[in-house]
Chain A
Amino acid sequence: MTVPNLSAVPDEAPSAEQQPEREKMVIIAASGDLDKAWPVLILATTGAAYGMEVTVFFTFWGLGIIKKPDAGITGDDWRQKMLSVFNRGTTEHLGLSKLNFGGMGPKMMKDLADKHKVASVQELLELAQQMGVKLWPCQMTMTLMGMERDDLIDGLDVPAGAGAAISLMKQSTINLFI
């Protein structure tokens, strides 16, 4: 009779990287406010640190977070152009949802973040990309605001819609709307 070789049984839990099916996390980033973009990217990077497959879906004002710094005025329609002037987007020009004071609020907030070594929105966005967080621009918002793929930063996933977002959220453990 053969004795089962117990030592041959793997005794280690596979690490997150090795698991074929990773847990999913989806964040809908619908706001272009600095105080919303920050938690979006803090949670996205932390989810990635948990070994989760994280997707951030940027829609409406949230699309501004992933706008290229040199995108300039976007759109053909005068209303789209006006939107892009008054809502410049890019991680540099996000305002605060409260106490914005025409840009003084965000300036003070960013100075404080620097002082206390809180990673900036730009740093967290780059970190998220390095950690494999998927960044999805919303196609409908792009069309609405007259933004082309070239107006957005590099390394994004293919623009998607609500159908793809719901399909992913159905399989996802954590779904957030920020």
Chain B
Amino acid sequence: MPEVTVDARGLQCPMPIIKLSQAISAATSGQLVELISTDRGSCTDVPAWTSDMGHVLKEQREENGEFHFLIQKA
């Protein structure tokens, strides 16, 4: 289960990535952070950012037009 959830629903680029980066910065190593976004661009932005930053994308799914991502901080 995620310990932190970032609700970026309704927000557009670049805000989902900005909010995610802030939540990851505040998290501790190994912690799981969930991001929920409605911006379709997140589907490519979040995996790119996550792997570039050395974190792990544990899960990515679409549910009722919302995109859910589960990221584990490195």
The interface of chain A, by Cβ under 8 A from chain B, is 12-13, 15-17, 42-43, 45-46, 48-51, 116-119, 127, 131
A45 touches B74 (CB 8 A): no
B14 touches A13 (CB 8 A): no
The interface of chain B, by Cβ under 8 A from chain A, is 10-15, 17-18, 20-22, 25, 29, 49, 52-54, 73-74
Choice from A16, A46, A117, A131 contacting B11 with Cβ under 8 Å: A117
Q: 29 A–B contact pairs at CB < 8 A? A: A12-B29, A12-B74, A13-B54, A15-B25, A15-B29, A15-B53, A15-B73, A15-B74, A17-B25, A43-B14, A45-B14, A45-B18, A46-B14, A46-B17, A46-B18, A48-B21, A49-B17, A49-B18, A49-B20, A49-B21, A50-B49, A50-B52, A50-B53, A116-B12, A117-B11, A118-B13, A119-B12, A127-B18, A131-B18
Determine the distance from Cα of A42 to Cα of B39 in the docked complex, in whole angstroms: 15
Known A49-B49, A127-B18: A13·B74 in contact at CB below 8 Å: yes
B10 touches A117 (CB 8 A): yes
Q: Distance (Å) between the CB of A140 and the closest chain B CB?
A: 30
Q: Which residues of A contact B15 (CB under 8 A)?
A: 117, 119
With contacts A49-B17, A118-B13, A131-B18 known, what are 7 further pairs, Cβ within 8 A?
Answer: A15-B73, A49-B22, A51-B53, A117-B10, A117-B11, A117-B12, A119-B15
